Amino acid sequence: MNADEHYMSRCLQLATLGAGTVAPNPMVGAVLVYNGTIIGEGYHQKFGEAHAEINCLASVKEEDRKFIKNSVLYISLEPCAHFGKTPPCVDSIISNNIPHVVIACRDRFEAVNGKGVQKLLSAGIKVTEQVLASQALQVNKRFFTFNEQKRPYVILKWAQSKDGYIAATNAAPAKISNEITDKLVHKWRSEEAAILVGTQTALVDNPSLTTRLWMGKNPVRIVIDLNLRLPAHLKLFDGRSKTILINLLKDDQKPNLQWVKIDLSKPVLTSLLEALKNQGLSSLLVEGGAKLLQSFIQLGLWDEARVITNEALQLHSGLRAPDLNNFRQFDEQKILSDKIQLFQNLSSIHHLGIF
């Protein structure tokens, strides 16, 4: 790893601290380096607030500010050149007389793509691009999928026994993953914009779909309830976080509860993802049930799957787990008896250019 890659690696590390709080904006980190020493760091912390570059420059100590005009600014994504929730970051870079900017990858969002780089070059600033670009694209896979595919980045998740069942014979929910893995799942929830279950899962499991085991924001809860038959006593209607009911009957809204009507001119899941895109939800964690998860797989409407297998548990019969049909596994970890496998749908993420 050379010096540019070393500092860019730190930018990417900082960027991920914005997971779950900056969507639908991208996660971005920035590092300011003077003569081999980091004198400023920052990341985009919250949607609508200051971007990484601004936070980085603001972090520079007063006694070090004289070095800014001779420093190199590393950014994990091309700086914005347009007015959005905040002013263009390139203007701040230029006004601070930073002579050299190193960028991991360009922002392919139409309002930015190439414009930030061009504005820096026009101001006489040296620009170096494509430093750890693949890793940077991976960090912002949700952002790029949302803007390029016009749908949320879809993550499937389920827990299964060693012999491949997700529930007992009577369809009652079975305790499969351990307490540590449960905390990890709640961390996953905090990183996504929305979480989805089907009607049957809502009825049988009565899930909360919150991040109560992890410090972080609750995702928007999405429930497919086409005929609006779910009873009001379910935890999904407790008002703790926003809940959207995908249905065929009505559009309506109350505090923390929204009904979104779809039609059946397209497959239900296609209409669902379009509705979530219109809601500005850039990522979706699908937690069940088995039929719903399998439908996403069969239609190819998924990007990533996270499968938890308790290798110490056998159910012998019951509700079969979804079948991933030998999709590519890209990572694996163990938490006590739980094996966590991560899969990618390469046909859906080829636009990212990661692999």
State how far the Cα of 11 lies from the Cα of 70, in Å rounded to an integer.
Answer: 19
DSSP assignments along 187-236, one per residue: HHHHHSSEEEE-HHHHHHH----S-TTSSSPPPEEEEE-TT----TTSGG
Distances (CA, A) of 195 to 170, 189, 241, 243, 284: 25, 7, 11, 10, 5
Does residue 79 have a cis peptide bond before it, meaning omega lies within 30 degrees of 0?
no
Name the token pair of 90. Answer: 């390139």
Which of 53, 78, 192, 287 is the catalytic position? 53
Distances (CA, A) of 232 to 5, 237, 257: 53, 6, 11
In this structure, what DSSP letter does residue 173 have? Answer: B
Q: Confirm whether 53 is a catalytic residue.
A: yes
What three-state secondary structure class fits 338?
strand
Going by C-alpha positions, the residue among 295, 314, 287 that lies closest to residue 164 is 314
Going by C-alpha positions, the residue among 266, 246, 267 that lies closest to residue 197 is 246
Which residue numbers are catalytic? 53
